[in-house]
Amino acid sequence: MRVYLATVLLGASAYASGVGAKGNAHHWQSTPHHLSALVGTTYTKECGNAFTLGIDYEYRLNNFLGVGFVAEYAYEDLVAYTYLLVADLHITNHFIAQIGPGLEFHGSHKMEVARLGLLYEFEMAGFTVSPQLHYDYHQNHKSAVVAGLAIGMSF
């Protein structure tokens, strides 16, 4: 399953880079909302890789800054729910850094988390495709790396 997921992510990234738009067709002034779904994996030293599903919402405030939330569910050997409030920093039309605090739940345990992530967003036929890589820091616990591919749309 993990090899299949990695192959799909790599193939989609290669396809998206070949199709990539000449300019970002998404105009944040007329469509400031962006919603995407993530499929990926969460890696921790303790548990290895865990299949991860997520949802991300962003509201664009200006050409550089968007604010929103992320909700993710990782399962298999690791079962965790992560909820984050994030700022999306649009470094270029396609390259985005994501930072923000949140909470993570492992069974009855609750812990604080801070995310630093990078994503590259391609726009195709009104949809966005973005390979993503995030580092989730947990104080006094093992940190995690989340890698995945998100498909979204602006409205």
The pLDDT tens digits for 64-87 are 999 999 999 999 888 999 999 999
109: left (phi over 0), alpha (psi -120 to 50) or beta: beta
Between the CA of residue 88 and those of 44, 50, 95, what are the distances in Å? 24, 25, 10
Q: Look at 141 and 55; give whichever has higher pLDDT.
A: 55
Q: What is the pLDDT of residues 123-139, one digit of tens each?
A: 998 899 999 999 999 98
Residue 18 has pLDDT above 70, yes or no: no
Torsion angle, CA of 48/56/80/47, rounded to 10 degrees?
0
pLDDT score recorded for residue 26: 53
For residue 13, the number of C-alpha atoms closer than 13 Å in the C-beta half-sphere is 15
Question: What pTM does this model have?
Answer: 0.81
Q: Which two tokens stand for residue 37?
A: 């779904």
pLDDT at site 131: 98
Confidence of residue 29 (pLDDT cuts 50, 70, 90): confident
Nearest Cα to Cα of residue 154 among 68, 66, 62, 30: 30
